[in-house]
Amino acid sequence: MTPYYDEGAIRLYQGDCRAVLPSLAADSVDLVLTDPPYGHNNNTDDLIGRWEAALGKGVSGPPRPIFNDGEEANELIRWSFLEWRRLLKAGRCCCCCCSGGGPDPQFARWSIWMGEVFDFKQMVVWDKGPMGMGWHYRRSYETILVGQKPGAPCQWCDTTRRVENIVRDIPRIIPSSADHPTEKPIALMSRFICWHTMPGQLVVDPFCGHGTTLEAAKLLGRRAIGIEIDEAYCEAAARRLAQGVLPF
Reported as a single tens digit per residue, the pLDDT across 62-96 is 555 565 555 678 899 999 999 999 999 999 999 99
pLDDT one-digit tens code per residue, 102-126: 778 889 999 999 999 999 999 999 9
**Which pLDDT belongs to residue 234?**
95
Which of 98, 94, 93 has the alpha carbon at shortest distance from 74?
98
CB–CB of 98/84 below 8 Å?
Answer: no
Q: Is 247 domain-assigned?
A: no
Q: Is 248 domain-assigned?
A: no
Dihedral sign for Cα atoms in the order 10, 11, 17, 22: negative
The residue with greater pLDDT, 232 or 40, is 232
User: Which structural domain range is residue 81 located in?
Assistant: 5-242
CB–CB of 211/39 below 8 Å?
Answer: no
We report the CATH number of the domain holding residue 84 as 3.40.50.150
Which of 210, 216, 223, 224 has the alpha carbon at shortest distance from 245?
216
Q: Is 28 domain-assigned?
A: yes
Task: Indicate the pLDDT class of residue 151, thresholds 50, 70 and 90.
Answer: very high
pLDDT one-digit tens code per residue, 177-236: 667 767 899 999 999 999 999 999 999 999 999 999 999 999 999 999 999 999 999 999
Q: For residue 5, what are the CA distances in angstroms to 10, 29, 85, 136, 147?
A: 8, 19, 25, 43, 29
Please state the domain count of the chain. Answer: 1
